[in-house]
Amino acid sequence: YTKDIAKKLLTLAIVNQRGQVLLGLKKRGFGEGYYNGFGGKVEVGETIEGAARRELQEEAGIVAGSILKQGVLTFHFDDKPQPWEVHVFNILDYSGEPCETDEMSPQWFSHGEIPFDKMWKDDEIWYPHFLAGDLFKGEFYFCNTHHLDSYNFGIVPEL
């Protein structure tokens, strides 16, 4: 029914400052053991940006200041009826100090040392463009959850 056709809206917030990005090691649940930005589902009655700010605070304990939407990534899974539409935000400034939560363990990585071997397989495709400040869109097709089977990716003039 329609629920299965509408895309599941999610956010992904990456703090990118002073040549380093703040990533979290997922301690449990989906993507456990992967390094990731901070994010989650957009709840009913919430804007996508509002959800990005809320999830960053819940998962990393910091309050976003100015943020810039840089990408929209759509993930298709062979074992899930609903594609995921992930809105990627660059967190340009924030207040507070990143802290460990039961979900995530925060860690700074220099741009040249991003641990792609412990991240979702699509990340190495779009992170370089994210770090370069490009606006981008991508469609990724996963099999058996973790295997990236195919994708389309491109830089866009606007989102």
Ligand X SMILES: CSc1nc2ncnc(N)c2[nH]1
Query: Should residue 120 be labelled a site residue for ligand X when binding is judged by CB under 6 A?
Result: yes
Q: If DSSP states are collapsed to H, E and C, what string results for the chain?
A: CHHHCCCEEEEEEEEEECCEEEEEEECCCCCCCCEECECCECCCCCCHHHHHHHHHHHHHCCEECCEEEEEEEEEEECCCCCCEEEEEEEECCEECCCCCCCCEEEEEEEHHHCCHHHCCCCHHHHHHHHHCCCCEEEEEEEECCCEEEEEEEEECCCC
Structure tokens at 12: 């992904």
Stretch that binds ligand X, among 50-58, 63-71, 93-101, 118-126 (CB under 6 A): 118-126
Q: Which of 91, 122, 130, 136 binds ligand X (CB under 6 A)?
A: 122
d(C-alpha 68, C-alpha 45), whole Å = 21
For the CB of residue 123, give the shortest distance to ligand X in the complex, in Å: 5
Nearer Cβ to ligand X, position 4 or 157? 4
Choosing from 36, 71, 130, 136, the residue that interacts with ligand X (CB under 6 A) is 36
Residues with Cβ within 8 Å of 114's Cβ and at least 6 positions away in sequence, in order, are 21, 23, 35, 123, 127
Q: Judged by CB under 6 A, does residue 130 bind ligand X?
A: no
Residue 136 engages ligand X in binding (rule: CB under 6 A): no
Residue closer to ligand X, measured from CB, 8 or 95: 8
**12 contributes a contact to ligand X by CB under 6 A:** yes
Considering the rule CB under 6 A, would residue 11 count as an interface residue with ligand X?
no
Distance in Å, CB of 12 to ligand X, minimum: 5
The verdict on 123 binding ligand X (CB under 6 A) reads yes
Nearer to ligand X, 67 or 95 (CB): 67
User: Interface residues with ligand X (CB under 6 A)?
Assistant: 12, 36-37, 75, 120, 122-123, 142
